Amino acid sequence: MRLQAPETTVSFTFDGRRLQGVPGEPVAAALLANDIRLVARSFKYHRPRGVMSAGSEEQNALVTVGRGAQAEPNVRATTLEVSEGLEVSSQNAWPSLRHDMMAVNDLVSPFLGAGFYYKTFMWPRSFWEKLYEPVIRRAAGLGALSGHTNPDDYEKAFAFCDVLVIGAGPAGLMAALTAGRAGADVILADEDTAMGGRLLREKEDVDGMPAADWVAQAVAELAALPNVRMMTRTTVTGAYDQGTYGALERVAGPRKAGKPLECFWRIVAKRAILCAGALERPIAFPDNDRPGIMMASAVRAYANRWGVVCGKSVAIFCNNDDAHRTARDLAAAGVKIAAVIDSRDDVQIEADYPVFTGAQVIATKGRHGLESITITHAGGTRSIRTDCLAMSGGWNPTVHLTCHMNGRPTWREDIASFVPTPDSIPDMVTAGACNGVFNTAGCLAEGAQVAADVATGLGLEPKVTLPVADDSAYAISPLWAVAGKGRKWIDFQNDVHVKDIRLAAQENFRSVEHMKRYTTQGMAPDQGKSSNVVALAVLADATGRGIPETGTTTFRPPYVPVAIAAMGAGSQGKGFAPERFTTSHKATVARGAPMIEAGLWYRPSYFPQTGETHWRQSCDREVGYVRGAVGVCDVSTLGKIDIQGPDAAALLDFVYTNMFSTLKVGRVRYGLMLREDGHVLDDGTTARLGAQHFVMTTTTAAAGLVMRHLEFVLQVLRPDLDAKVVSVTEQWAQFAVAGPKARELLNAVLDQALDDQTWPFMACGPVGVAGVPGRLFRISFSGEHAYEVAVPSRYGESLFRMLVAQAEVMGGGPYGMEALNVLRIEKGFITHAEIHGRTTAFDIGMERMVSAKKDCIGKAAAARPGLVGDDRQQLVGLRAKDTLTAGAHLFEKDAAAVRVNSQGYTTSVCYSPTLDMHLALGFLKNGRARHGEVITLRDHLRDVTREAEVCDPVFFDPTGGRARG
Amino acid sequence: MVSLISLSPCAGLLPLSEGGVTVTEVPVDRLWSVAPFAGQQKAVSAALKDQLGVTLPTVNRRGGAVTWFGHGTYLVAGDVALDGLAAVTDQSDGWATVRIAGQRAEDVLARLVPVDLRAAVFKTNHSARTMLGHMSVAITRVGPDAFEVMVMRSMAVTLVHDLQVALRGVAAR
Amino acid sequence: MRINCPNCGERDRREFYYQGDAVALERPAEDAGLAAWDDYLHNRDNPAGDTRDLWFHEAGCGAWLVVDRNTVTHAVHGAVLAEKVKT
């Protein structure tokens, strides 16, 4: 119920029921205001559960928002904001929250304790995947994914600052004010909808005014500072190396198309100040999980900040001073306080409501919500009627971020809590409640002080002025678990109770990390924020050790669950990888060519014509163009690297196995490049355009790799070489013109006619292409009389259209990757299918290309034993009457097709329309000595067996007369 | 005789405008990569001073027609003669260049670029080789609210796509 | 992780390509023998502590860097241009 009728309300639904709420308040507050206490069923036992906290640490009140593809499960009702039309539903219950069939789990709970699955579903092994796991997964769990593609937009972004202040409670606000006033670039991030933290939730004065007013004043001052950026609804989720922090922002305001739901920030800060506050921890007592049993601080937060009272008759159970605020604030607001039960003997409380000291709650009643509690105290046992029990086992400083880089927190006996160990994160300091300071004055002072130190460290001159505030001491006497029988819940989100932890200890899972994995304590989405310290205190007790020796489990990022969609924002669909398009792309697509990916590039498979129903028809026709007339193919995707300098030739001699310093200007040479370990890196042609000027081509796949390799050689291995390399892949649009009529075609577009004397095979040089300065290379990847002609890319599309139109007039046309592949296989030319990283120059029959006259990359290693010799699998050709498959293994004709008998494999296959035969390239043990032998190909994957004849890999025109002619 | 038609890298893709931020193509005429040979840095700088009126800028800076473009490399807008002093390579057609302008241009780039582009840190004529999304780019601040971004020509479509998504996200807030 | 590039200043790890141990700087002579080449190519320490390795600022200025860092604390002590180390 509400203390006062709100000024504005909106309607939202919970499990289809229409409810009123105040816009912007947490859904949890609105549900409590509507007297809805049962909001969820627990993970394992399907026990009725209600709202427990008022923050992101919430364990029970997980709900699903929206429906259909937009449904988002496991959203905490305590941080979800009420908005008009919001659809909220409960999860993990069937058929309904009140009548959940799976609650039967709770009745057989004695059998379902920690380790139950491990012990029970051991055998038979095959049942695990098919039966046990699906059944268990159905029975236990939280919300379910929709199964549809997420239609929402997410975003990621980068931010930079001098000082990142994490948390905007009293310490964070003072830190931001102090650093901001000193002139530092500050980002102040807080996960709440408004800055202020605990100051918005307490009835106390700061600087002589209500705390909330002081917050408003501080926020106004910060907003006026241009060097301060305030980020609300932003949870800093992780601390990473070199001052990088992850942060999840829930983007404010209503959903709309194109607007991101969440933004995942990478914030880089010179310094960080952690002011993350503290989380109240529960006390383990029997049946402490009924709806209506909440954290004491949450009960007063709902009253103080949102005007929502969580019960008609509220009881408080605590072991510390702080929880008494709940009783005082509620009493002042006119709420009936049924009792305050303080476990400590030595406290003096004066109040006009019943106070029991040295007392404990030992039982609770109420099926779908709390109805009464039973307490023991010096005077005996008694039952108290109450519908809301506010509990407090003390406060845990939020040390999580300080542990993200292997830091371990330090135990402080006086506050019975862990505090951050200084310097756990480089350049991060801590202040306020997260540092174990539990009053407002202390938090304000520490926030100001650490910020002043940080600002001074940045070379600024900060001033510290402190507001007056509450400085009352915090006293606690630890109480982790109440003695006696019954299930005393510790990890509410994963349904772990005291007995589970004792069982783990008893079964020798005594290490806190083992206990965690055995019981699953701390493994739910909340990662044990509220339960960890209680659990390890119980473990410490069960194992007879102290809490510091028991230690904590490792806190890892993220601090709150982060949707994969937020982390991967921008990388779905077209954002997954850049698309690289050639200048001929539009013209190619317009011809209906199916495009295939080659690295990031898109290249045409083939150019279908009317009447063709199968790609092979198109491919065979295109091969025919090149062998019979002329074909045109965009080869711009091949890497082109401009190499200039006094030592350009020396560089090439060092990176290629063969000599380039002897190459004449105006000539092209084929080159083979090795890795330093002796295996082939790449191949291609390099043209000498001038005495100190070369242009190298690489394969499409290895363009980036070769560029990096050349820079490596120049900067790391041979900085003595004065040569410069720059990629010109994008500068030039380059087209292969191949076939007996290639010269005739080019003569129609070039400014000067070509002839064999000035343009012999492997010549290169500048040409005018329809008036544009271009380059021409007489090289061939098809074995035909062929050229590659290049023009600046702005003319690429135009030249492609011109070449294709001309080719078509001459009985040829464009060809795609399929035909290109057939043409090169017919000639035994290798691609990365053959030079796949495990083959050497020897394997591909090019060992004679490794010059004896000079050193080169890979030369020493290529000669080592094992990389040469008859045992190596060597490049061969294979021919057959039937289709061959790539990846098939090769066996002696009658040998069994098993691994130990494998003598090699195929790498490339095609049907050759030129030879009317199926061809393959492959590697065969001692293959060069086995030409003529008939062997068996076996492809287990495709279930294909063939016989084929081993032959030279050059199937067509072995003397190369066609390319030279 | 027929002649070849020239097309710019972003032909048909730009302009783009949303939330007060506009993206337009910057026309490029002559653009050269200049990498001084060993010991020729000063000579190159002097020659540029003669020919274009500007010396070589320091790293991460643009000065007039000359922009630092990576380790030992500069981009020069306009023709220069540096025979024997530097590797001079035509890049006039290698890059797509766009201008992103508007009050929230910085916010748009913060969605895509992992470097600090705040005005106080990255001032006018500051230039960075970095990434935009998954692409390698050069970014130069050309005014209080304006940046120039260069990406490999073949990736112009992806550049425009990524900017469009970021523009929409920023405008929707 | 962030690396301080001598050209570009501090940059996010995503801009860099990782090569491996800076032993790659010490390329043996062609005739150094199998053992020397084996060490150069394949044998690496796996230190828990300070390490020195080669990174390429591939999506940045294109400089090869020698980076000193610590595999335990993740501290990056510094980076220098590889070409300056060698000459």
Under 8 Å CB pairs connecting chains B and C tally to 40
Given this model, what pLDDT does residue A157 score? 98
Given this model, what pLDDT does residue A651 score? 98
Distance of CA A48 to the CA centre of its chain: 35
Residue B1 pLDDT exceeds 70: no
Helix (H, G, I), strand (E, B) or coil at B165: helix
B-contacting residues in A 177-206 (Cβ below 8 Å): 185
pLDDT tens per residue, range C11-57: 999 999 999 999 999 999 999 999 999 999 999 999 999 999 999 99
pLDDT tens per residue, range A115-128: 776 676 666 777 77
Contact, A756 vs A964, CB < 8 A? no
Contacts of A802 in chain B (CB under 8 A): 2, 4
Contacts of C68 in chain A (CB under 8 A): none
Omega of the bond prior to A286 within 30 degrees of 0, cis?
A: no
Where residue A965 falls among pLDDT bands split at 50, 70, 90?
confident
pLDDT tens per residue, range A791-815: 999 999 999 999 999 999 999 999 9
Written as six digits, the tokens of B7 are 């097309």
Q: Tell me whether A596 touches chain C (CB under 8 Å).
A: no
Contact, A309 vs A303, CB < 8 A? yes
Instruction: Tell me whether residues B136 and C61 touch, CB distance under 8 A.
Output: no
Residue C87 pLDDT exceeds 60: no
Given this model, what pLDDT does residue A132 score? 73
Shortest CA distance to A517 belongs to which of A542, A492, A496? Answer: A496
Which long-range contacts (C-beta less than 8 Å, at least 24 apart) are formed by A406-410?
A408/A551, A408/A552, A409/A552
For chain A, the first-to-last Cα distance in angstroms comes to 96
Q: Tell me whether A957 touches chain C (CB under 8 Å).
A: no
Shortest CA distance to A822 belongs to which of A785, A788, A782? Answer: A782
Shortest CA distance to A587 belongs to which of A749, A799, A806? Answer: A799
pLDDT tens per residue, range A435-492: 999 999 999 999 999 999 999 999 999 999 999 999 999 999 999 999 988 999 999 9
Omega of the bond prior to A558 within 30 degrees of 0, cis?
A: yes
Question: Closest to B3 (Cβ–Cβ): which among A257, A258, A771?
Answer: A771
Q: What are phi and psi of A376, to 5 degrees?
A: -115, 145
Shortest CA distance to A424 belongs to which of A413, A436, A435, A409? Answer: A409
Contact, A919 vs A877, CB < 8 A? yes
Where residue A206 falls among pLDDT bands split at 50, 70, 90?
very high
Contact, B97 vs B13, CB < 8 A? no
Give the minimum alpha-carbon distance from B64 to chain A in angstroms, rounded to a whole number: 22
Other Cβ atoms less than 10 A from the Cβ of A544: the count is 9
Distance of CA B39 to the CA centre of its chain: 27
Q: For chain A, what is the mean pLDDT?
A: 95
Q: CA-to-CA distance for A271 and A292, rounded, in angstroms?
A: 42
pLDDT tens per residue, range A343-379: 999 898 889 999 999 999 999 999 999 999 999 999 9
- Residue A878's Cβ-count burial label (10 Å; 0-12, 13-18, 19+) is buried
| Residue-by-residue DSSP string for chain C | -EEEETTTEEEEGGG-EEEEEGGGGSPPPTTS-HHHHHHHHT-----SSEEEEEEE-TTTT--EEEEEEETTT--EEEEEEHHHHH-
Q: CA-to-CA distance for A214 and A896, rounded, in angstroms?
A: 85
Which chains does chain B touch, 3 or more C-beta pairs < 8 A? Answer: A, C
Question: Closest to C64 (Cβ–Cβ): which among A268, A712, A864?
Answer: A712
Given this model, what pLDDT does residue A258 score? 84
Instruction: Tell me whether residues B72 and A156 touch, CB distance under 8 A.
Output: no
B-contacting residues in A 723-742 (Cβ below 8 Å): 723-724, 726-732
Contacts of C14 in chain B (CB under 8 A): 114, 131
Contact, A277 vs A433, CB < 8 A? yes
Q: Which residue of A has its CA nearest to B113?
A: A158
Instruction: Tell me whether residues B129 and C61 touch, CB distance under 8 A.
Output: yes
**Residue C35: CB partners within 8 Å, gap ≥ 6?**
none
Q: Tell me whether B29 touches chain A (CB under 8 Å).
A: no
Q: Tell me whether A860 touches chain C (CB under 8 Å).
A: yes
Residue B75 pLDDT exceeds 80: yes
**Measured CA distances, C42 to A536, A843, A861, A933, C23 (Å):** 46, 22, 11, 38, 10
Residue A917 pLDDT exceeds 60: yes
- Residue C15's Cβ-count burial label (10 Å; 0-12, 13-18, 19+) is buried
State mean pLDDT over A261-269.
97
Contacts of C60 in chain B (CB under 8 A): 70, 129-130
Percentage of chain A with pLDDT > 90?
90
Contacts of C64 in chain A (CB under 8 A): 711-712, 715-716
Given this model, what pLDDT does residue A123 score? 67
Where residue A21 falls among pLDDT bands split at 50, 70, 90?
very high
Q: Which residue has the tokens 């043996």?
A: C28
Dihedral over alpha carbons A806, A810, A816, A821 (to 10 degrees):
-140
Other Cβ atoms less than 10 A from the Cβ of C38: the count is 13
What is the pTM for the complete model shown?
0.95
Q: Which residue has the tokens 């506009």?
A: B22
Instruction: Tell me whether residues A712 and C19 touch, CB distance under 8 A.
Output: yes
Given this model, what pLDDT does residue A576 score? 94
Shortest CA distance to A31 belongs to which of A73, A70, A63? Answer: A63
Q: CA-to-CA distance for A776 and A763, rounded, in angstroms?
A: 8
**Measured CA distances, B52 to A19, A419, B88, B138 (Å):** 72, 63, 15, 22
Q: What are phi and psi of A73, to 5 degrees?
A: -85, 165
Which chains does chain A touch, 3 or more C-beta pairs < 8 A? Answer: B, C
Residue A541 pLDDT exceeds 70: yes
DSSP-derived letter for residue A226 is: T
Given this model, what pLDDT does residue A122 score? 65
B-contacting residues in A 151-170 (Cβ below 8 Å): 153, 155-160
Q: Tell me whether B152 touches chain A (CB under 8 Å).
A: yes
Instruction: Tell me whether residues C74 and A720 touch, CB distance under 8 A.
Output: no
Q: Which residue of A has its CA nearest to B111?
A: A157
Q: Tell me whether A719 touches chain C (CB under 8 Å).
A: yes
Where residue A92 falls among pLDDT bands split at 50, 70, 90?
confident
Q: CA-to-CA distance for B32 and B74, rounded, in angstroms?
A: 8
Strand partners, A911: A918
State mean pLDDT over A242-263.
93
Shortest CA distance to A167 belongs to which of A408, A393, A394, A402? Answer: A402
Written as six digits, the tokens of A393 are 């086992």
| Residue-by-residue DSSP string for A421-433 | PTTSSTTEEE-GG
Contacts of A772 in chain B (CB under 8 A): 3-4
Q: Which residue has the tokens 């900060």?
A: A462
Contacts of A157 in chain C (CB under 8 A): none
Instruction: Tell me whether residues C2 and A864 touch, CB distance under 8 A.
Output: no
Contacts of C76 in chain A (CB under 8 A): 241-242
ipTM value, please give it. 0.98
Given this model, what pLDDT does residue A121 score? 67
**Residue A758: CB partners within 8 Å, gap ≥ 6?**
none
Under 8 Å CB pairs connecting chains A and C tally to 67
**Residue B20: CB partners within 8 Å, gap ≥ 6?**
B102, B103, B104, B171
Q: Tell me whether C15 touches chain B (CB under 8 Å).
A: yes
Residue A715 pLDDT exceeds 80: yes
pLDDT tens per residue, range B39-67: 999 999 999 999 999 999 999 999 999 99
Contacts of B56 in chain C (CB under 8 A): none
pLDDT tens per residue, range B82-120: 999 999 999 999 999 999 999 999 999 999 999 999 999
Query: Minimum mean pLDDT among A119-128, A324-333, A503-512: which range?
Result: A119-128
B-contacting residues in C 61-80 (Cβ below 8 Å): 61-63
